[in-house]
Every structure is written in C-alpha cells, then in structure tokens.
Amino acid sequence: MFFTLLRRDLLAIARSPALWLPVMFFVLTAALFPFAVGPDARLLARIAPGIIWVAALLASLLPVETLLAPDVEDGSIDQLISRGIALELVCAARIVAHWIGFAVPLLAALPVAGVLLGLSGADGTRLAIALLLGTPALASLAVIAAALTAGLKGGGALAGLIVLPLALPVLIFGVGSDVAGAFRLLGAASLVALAVGPFAAAAALRPE
C-alpha cells in the first residue's frame, strides 16, 4: 500500500514541469552569491554553509503549493479516505517522495555549489552529511505546511510563514555542523519532524 502511494507520488514529481525548479534555484543561488558578495574567497567559504542551508530551505518550499492542494481539489484525498486508507500513510509517502524530489537532486548538485562558493573538500563533505541529516525535517515541515494551506488561495506564501520558524533549529544546527554534537541534534530534529509530520499533516487534511 505504502509503495503504491509512494510510486504514484514519485511519478507525479517526475512528470511535473517543476521537477528541476528546486535544484535550479539552489545552484543559481550559489552562483549569484560570489557576484553579490564579491570575489573574497575566504569570506565566501566562511558564509557558504549558511547560503547553502538557506537555499536548501527555500528550495524545499518551492513546490509546496503542488504537494497536496491538487489532491484535495480534484477529490483524490476523498477517494483515499473513502477507501479507509489512513491519511497518515498518505502523508508519510508524500514526505518521502518530496524528500527524494528535492533533497536528492540538491545533494547531487552540492559539489557544483561548493565549487562556486569556494568550499574546501572537508567542509563540503561535512555540509553534505549535515544536509543528508537535516533535509528530511525540511521535507516533513513542507508537507505539514502544504496540508495546512491546501484549499487556501495563495497558500504558498502562508506555508512559508508556517515553515520558517519551525525550520530554525534545523538551520542553526545545519550551519553550525562543525560544533560537537550538531550532527546528533540535526538528526534528532529530523526524527522529531518525521515522527510528527504524517500525523500533523493528516490531521490538517481530514475533513471536519
């Protein structure tokens, strides 16, 4: 059941015209900063983790309006509920699919962003591990926000306002991943977000 749902969600992402949007956004942000900040390599390398984390957070929010709202509008969610399929399962599949859809391409594009920002190999590896640990939380938060704003006009902007404060711990531990214990806290933030996410999103989707 879970894999049928997940396969469907992944196919929907693969066919979406916005497939390349998050990763393009991520690389473009990394490419623009050297121009905006100036060619000071040491400064760029120092702020690179911050830039990359902000870009990753915003990239996770780009498809938020298409994560759940179309399914609510076209009756797909009704069909799932009437089959007695737990919305928690539906939302869990959506979180996994969203993570694969935005975080995996982003990790693949990280070397490019690292070169553009003058990141050293060791820093780049640490950042990749931090992103791997932290992006599941971002995916979960995005799906919660998508569930809360599904059916609202201009829900995307509101979703951003909902996610940003909740994503702060991930951002802080992610950027400060050279501090002892940051990886563990990052992993913990993701585990909490993944544990809460399916239930919070399902509760928001359930008709009153």
Under 8 Å between Cβ of 156 and 149: yes
Minimum Å gap between C-beta 4 and another protein is 5
Closest CB to another protein among residues 8, 126: 8
Q: Which is nearer to another protein, 154 or 207 (CB)?
A: 207
Count of beta carbons in the 10 Å neighbourhood of residue 13: 18
Query: What residue has token string 């870009």?
Result: 55
Binding site for another protein (CB under 8 A): 1, 4-5, 8, 11-12, 15, 70, 73-76, 78-85, 207-208
d(CA 50, CA 97): 25
Other Cβ atoms within 10 Å of 68 Cβ, number: 29
CB of 132 to another protein, least distance (A): 30
Q: In sequence order, which residues have a C-beta less than 8 Å from that of residue 61 and are 6 or more positions away?
A: 142, 145, 156, 159, 160, 163
Determine contact, residues 137/42, Cβ cutoff 8 Å: no
Q: Which is nearer to another protein, 45 or 85 (CB)?
A: 85
> Closest distance between another protein and the C-beta of residue 20, in Å?
16
Question: Residue 201 in contact with residue 72, Cβ under 8 Å?
Answer: no
CB nearer another protein, residue 7 or residue 184: 7
Task: Closer to another protein by CB, 78 or 178: give it.
Answer: 78
User: 17 or 39: whose CB is closer to another protein?
Assistant: 17
CB of 95 to another protein, least distance (A): 19
Minimum separation from the CB atom of position 12 to another protein (A): 7
Give the CA distances from residue 110 to residues 51, 71, 113, 167, in Å, rounded to whole numbers and listed in that order. 12, 32, 5, 20
80 CB-near residues (< 8 Å, 6+ apart): 87, 90
Q: CB 19 → another protein: shortest distance, Å?
A: 12
